[in-house]
Every structure is written in C-alpha cells, then in structure tokens.
C-alpha cells in the first residue's frame, strides 16, 4: 500500500457538532493522513465553556490551538462543513499568512460561497420554531434534541452556533492562493451546484467541485468515501 506523506487535516464541525464527529475518521484515512479535529467551546468535554457567537473569535481560538498540533507536518489541509466551511475559509487565510505553515488545500463542504449570508434566520425564534428552522437549514435532526433534558442542555450551544453562522462575514475579501475543493451531496436541497461553484472565486489557484452520494449530511453516512476524495485531491496515490 502506498503511503501518503505526512499530511495534517484540520477538521471543523458543523453547527451543533463536536470534535467527536470526526473520531472514527482516522481509522478510515490512508496512512500518513492525520485527522486533527477541532473542539469548539460549549460542547462535549468543553461543555462548561461559553460558546462563541462571533466567527472571528472562534477562528482566533482555533488558530492558536492548532498551530502546535500541526508542527512537523509536510502539508496541512483544512476541512469544514456548513458553519465549519466558513470557519475553515477564515482559518485557511490565517494559516496561509503564517510563515512555516505548509498549507496545501482548503476543503469546504455543504456551503455556498463565504460572501452569501442566509436570507431566512433562526436567531431570535422561540425554541420550537428555532429547532424547526435549524432542521430545515441542516436537513438533519440530532437525536438528543428529542429528549427535553438534553434539548435544554444543547440549545444554548446550538443557538450560539446558528447566530455565529447567520452573522458571519469573511475576515478577508482577498482570494486564497491555495487550491480549494468544494463538496456537496448530490441530493442536497440546501446547497445546489450553482451555490457550490461560488467557491471558485475564493482562490487564485486550482478549484474543483465534487459531488458525493447523499444529501446535505452525506459525510455522516459515508466518511470513508469522503476521505478517499480528500486523499485524491491532495494528490495521494493511495485513495483507498
């Protein structure tokens, strides 16, 4: 089996998710591809930490946290889905401007271009209306939200994530100088092919758009398929 060089893939979660979403990715990744999940505050082991409501502050924290974790990497890539995609875009700008960080590619998933805010909003709605709107946005309903006690615990973090996403504006209006791969599920009704193509303006380097089998949350159903695409886009001979 051909081995990848030492590549670190920083992974940023979608709204309401934690780093554990990526916990099984390492076992499906080709040798040499190291998964670097990011844990935002307000979830899992960081449950008691106040969640961010501003993307700029979230990216500041993530940037400081990942610098030590990517030391020694031959190449670095960033992946994010939905909310994670726009955070990944801003993080990629920060990493690209950092001397000694070998940023190779940005992977953005399930998201229109970073300059396009949402027309409909969930922030400010009562709990039931908020969750219904989020369900419509995400095409996904976390099972824990069906339990009143868990819902009460998760709602503040989810509300913060949604507010952060709805108020997001890119930190830079300059395109990146590294390649960008934009991905969507082929049956995603939230992000169509034309919205995915908006990411082509986010780079002066190569751009590719990839459709995966599935809907908006395609990567929850078949992470190995996504990792094969990521490996191929990074130029690995082993895209198993």
pLDDT tens-digit readout, 122-134: 666 666 777 777 7
Residue ranges and CATH numbers for the domains of the chain are: 7-233 (3.40.50.1820)
- Are 129 and 155 a contacting pair, CB within 8 Å? no
Cα 62 to its chain centre, rounded Å, is 12
3-class SS of residue 226:
helix
Say whether pLDDT at 121 is over 80: no
Q: DSSP assignment, residue 198?
A: G
For residue 138, the model assigns a pLDDT of 62
What number of CA atoms fall less than 13 Å from residue 232's CA on the CB side? 11
106-123 residues labelled b (16+ CB within 10 A) or e (exposed):
bbbbbbbbbeeeeeebbb
- Are 168 and 117 a contacting pair, CB within 8 Å? yes
Q: What is the mean pLDDT of the chain?
A: 87
Dist CA 15 CA 159 (whole Å): 9
Please write the tens of the pLDDT for every residue from 8-46.
999 999 988 889 999 899 999 988 999 999 999 988 899
Please write the tens of the pLDDT for every residue from 219-238.
999 999 999 999 999 984 33
Going by pLDDT thresholds of 50, 70 and 90, the confidence category of residue 2 is very low
Say whether pLDDT at 205 is over 90: yes
Dist CA 116 CA 113 (whole Å): 6
- Are 101 and 66 a contacting pair, CB within 8 Å? no
Q: DSSP assignment, residue 44?
A: G
Please write the tens of the pLDDT for every residue from 133-185.
777 666 556 666 666 767 677 777 888 888 888 889 999 989 999 999 999 99
Please write the tens of the pLDDT for every residue from 43-85.
889 989 999 999 999 999 999 999 999 999 999 999 999 999 9
Closest CA to 234 of 97, 64, 29: 29
Q: How many residues does the chain have?
A: 240
pTM of the model: 0.89
């Amino acid at each position: 089996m051909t081995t990848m060089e030492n590549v670190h893939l920083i992974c940023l979660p979608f709204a309401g998710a934690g780093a554990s979403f990526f916990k099984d990715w390492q076992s499906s990744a080709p040798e040499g591809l190291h998964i670097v999940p990011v844990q935002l505050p307000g979830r899992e082991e960081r449950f008691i930490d106040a969640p961010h409501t501003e993307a700029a502050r979230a990216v500041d924290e993530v940037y400081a946290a990942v610098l030590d974790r990517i030391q020694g990497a031959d190449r670095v890539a960033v992946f994010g889905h939905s909310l994670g995609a726009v955070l990944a875009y801003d993080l990629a700008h920060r990493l690209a401007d950092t001397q000694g960080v070998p940023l190779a590619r940005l992977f953005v998933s399930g998201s229109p271009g970073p300059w396009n805010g949402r027309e409909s909003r969930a922030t400010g709605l009562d709990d039931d209306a908020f969750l219904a709107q989020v369900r419509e946005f995400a095409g996904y309903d976390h099972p824990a939200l069906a339990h009143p006690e868990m819902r009460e615990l998760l709602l503040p973090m989810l509300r913060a994530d949604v507010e952060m996403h709805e108020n997001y504006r890119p930190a830079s209006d300059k395109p990146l100088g590294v390649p960008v791969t934009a991905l969507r599920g082929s049956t995603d009704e939230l992000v169509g092919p034309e919205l995915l193509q908006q990411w082509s303006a986010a780079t002066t380097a190569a751009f590719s758009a990839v459709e995966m089998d599935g809907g908006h949350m395609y990567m929850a159903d078949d992470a190995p398929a996504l990792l094969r695409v990521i490996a191929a886009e990074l130029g690995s001979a082993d895209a198993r």
